[in-house]
Structure 1
Amino acid sequence: MAAARAGLGRIHPESSILFLCDMQEKLQDKDVYFPQIVSMAARILIKVARLLGVPAVLTEQYPQGLGPTVPELGAQGLRPVSKTCFSMVPSLYIDTALSSSSSLSCSELNRMVALARMQQSGIFLSTSKVLILQLVKHTAHPQFKEIQKIIKEPAPDFGLLGFSPGETNPLVLNSRP
């Protein structure tokens, strides 16, 4: 049983997909962290996915009304999939628990609830750097030097925790008497 659990949460380039969800013109004013999210996706995740041959799926929520994907994303060459449902992919392809976890993340509260629901559904949360290093696996990887250049800059703060580093987490109750 322990041996079976050892691989739990591991990712591999040959069985991975990068999902880029609804990074569109009219949605950029709805999320205070939109520029950081686009920067992270464009600066790191798309570049690494291309280097490792990881396929990427780009969606646009009702592009007639919300506009196209922002050019800053750098998703040239990816053909966006237009959608009107509030999930990235039809539940036909993924577990129902996963599809129901993808709630809107325009606010910190929605983002935190979505992350908690994903975790409850069995999703392993990670940082982009840990995820990338897990995909590369070893410094001997033929793309490691190029990827190392891409990930060496610190990631911007996305506000996912609801507080800044160094602050007390307002979501954790003080259990001291």
Structure 2
Amino acid sequence: MCLGKILNIPVFATTQQRAKLGETCSELGLDSSDGIATKAHADKSAFSMWIPDVQSAFKSLGGEKREVVVVGIESHICVTQTTLDLLREGHKVYVLADGVSSCNKEEVPIALARLRAEGAVVTTSESWLYECMGDAGIPEFRGIAGLVKEFKSSTKEGLQALAKI
């Protein structure tokens, strides 16, 4: 089961020029009923994902300032520009260090340092999950704890790779 479904968190996704570059992550099944349920899945050419389609879907949730989690590829390009746009809009932005990457690994720590300096909260997926839940007594805890356990080794590998950069 997906985190968004367990905690009822809306998911917004974009693909960078799908016709030229292909689907970002076909494993997510962004457009299938079995995949991650998205509020918006838009194709884009802009580097930021804060595009009109996403803004419209986001505002349909009530339009107020929100806490937003950003994950994605090319930390120094799309993740950075999306985060900066969201910060400019007044949202609190969490960037999950183990949920971003780059084709040039040297870019990741520089991007994360810049985003932290701009006001984003740079943290890890596990830390954010437990902060989000706040209490082991909530009904969703078992589902989230199961996800953490299932992906612990891949998360650890990702964090170890980041520590070497």
Task: Answer yes or no: same fold by TM over 0.5.
Answer: yes
The interval holding the TM-score normalised by the smaller chain is 0.5 to 0.7
Aligned length: 114
Q: Which residue does the alignment assign to 1:32? A: none
Segments of structure 2 that go 5 or more residues without pairing to the other structure are 52-81, 96-100
Segments of structure 1 that go 5 or more residues without pairing to the other structure are 1-45, 164-177
Q: Which residue does the alignment assign to 1:166? A: none
Which of the pair is proportionally richer in helix?
Answer: 2
Which of the pair is proportionally richer in strand?
Answer: 2
Provide the TM-score with structure 2 as the length reference. 0.59
Q: Which residue does the alignment assign to 2:163? A: 161
Q: Which residue does the alignment assign to 2:44? A: 83
Q: Which residue does the alignment assign to 1:70? A: 25
CA distance in 2, matches of 1:68, 1:125: 26
Residue 121 in structure 1 maps to residue 118 in structure 2: yes
CA distance in 1, matches of 2:7, 2:18: 29
Q: Structure 1 residues 162, 86: CA separation in 2 closer, same or farther (over 3 Å shift)?
A: farther
Provide the TM-score with structure 1 as the length reference. 0.55
Contact 1:97 1:121 in 2 (8 A): no
Aligned-residue identity in percent: 26
CA distance in 1, matches of 2:89, 2:107: 17
Q: SS of the residue aligned with 2:15? A: strand
Residue 49 in structure 1 maps to residue 49 in structure 2: no
| CA shift for structure 1 position 118 | 0.4
CA distance in 1, matches of 2:124, 2:42: 26
CA distance in 2, matches of 1:129, 1:95: 23
CA distance in 1, matches of 2:85, 2:112: 20
Contact 2:87 2:119 in 1 (8 A): no
Counterpart of 1:85, as a letter, is A
CA distance in 1, matches of 2:104, 2:25: 20
Q: Structure 1 residues 70, 115: CA separation in 2 closer, same or farther (over 3 Å shift)?
A: same
Contact 1:48 1:132 in 2 (8 A): no
| CA shift for structure 1 position 62 | 0.8
Residue 148 in structure 1 maps to residue 145 in structure 2: yes
Root mean square deviation of aligned Cα: 2.9
